[in-house]
A and B are shown apart, each in its own frame.
Chain A
Amino acid sequence: MNWRESARTPQRTQCGHSVYWVPCHPRPTEENSIDTPALSDNVVSMKTITSRELSRKPSVISNIKPGEAVHVADRKGGLIMTRAKRIAVTPREMMAELGKVTAGCPPMDTQAFLEDGE
Chain B
Amino acid sequence: MRIYPDTSFLVSLLYSGDRSHAASEAFFVAQTTAEWVTSEWLLFETNNSLRQLCLARNGPDKIMIEGVRRLFKRWHERGNFTRVDADMADAVTECQQLSAAHAIALRMRSADVLHVALLEQINPDLFVTRDADQFKLASQRAFPAQLLS
Seen from chain A, the residues whose Cβ lies within 8 Å of a Cβ on chain B are 44-45, 47, 65-67, 85-92, 94-95, 97-99, 101-102, 105-111, 113-114, 117-118
A47-B85, A91-B28, A99-B16 as given contacts; A110 in contact with B68, CB under 8 Å: no
* Interface pairs (26), CB distance under 8 Å: A44-B82, A44-B83, A45-B84, A67-B76, A67-B77, A85-B78, A88-B78, A88-B79, A89-B78, A89-B79, A91-B28, A94-B80, A101-B67, A102-B16, A105-B61, A106-B59, A107-B18, A108-B18, A108-B53, A108-B59, A110-B11, A110-B18, A113-B52, A114-B49, A114-B53, A117-B52
Size class of the B contact interface (CB-based, 8 Å):
35 or more
The reply to whether B31 and A91 form a contact with Cβ atoms under 8 Å apart is yes
A66-B77, A111-B130 as given contacts; A106 in contact with B58, CB under 8 Å: yes
Choose from A91, A99, A109 the contact partner of B80 (Cβ within 8 Å). Answer: A91
How close is A107's CB to chain B, nearest CB, in angstroms?
A: 5
Select the residue from A99, A107, A114 with max chain B CB neighbours within 10 A: A114
Chain B residues within 8 Å of A117, by CB: 52, 55
Interface string of B56-70 (1 = CB under 8 A from A): 101111001001100
Choose from B15, B31, B77, B85 the contact partner of A105 (Cβ within 8 Å). Answer: B15
Seen from chain B, the residues whose Cβ lies within 8 Å of a Cβ on chain A are 8, 11-12, 14-20, 25, 28-29, 31-32, 49, 52-53, 55-56, 58-61, 64, 67-68, 71, 75-80, 82-85, 109, 130-131
The reply to whether A87 and B84 form a contact with Cβ atoms under 8 Å apart is no
The reply to whether B59 and A66 form a contact with Cβ atoms under 8 Å apart is no
A111 to B49, CA, bound (A): 10
A66 to B75, CA, bound (A): 11
Chain A residues within 8 Å of B80, by CB: 87, 91, 94
The reply to whether B17 and A101 form a contact with Cβ atoms under 8 Å apart is no
A98-B14, A106-B58 as given contacts; A111 in contact with B77, CB under 8 Å: no
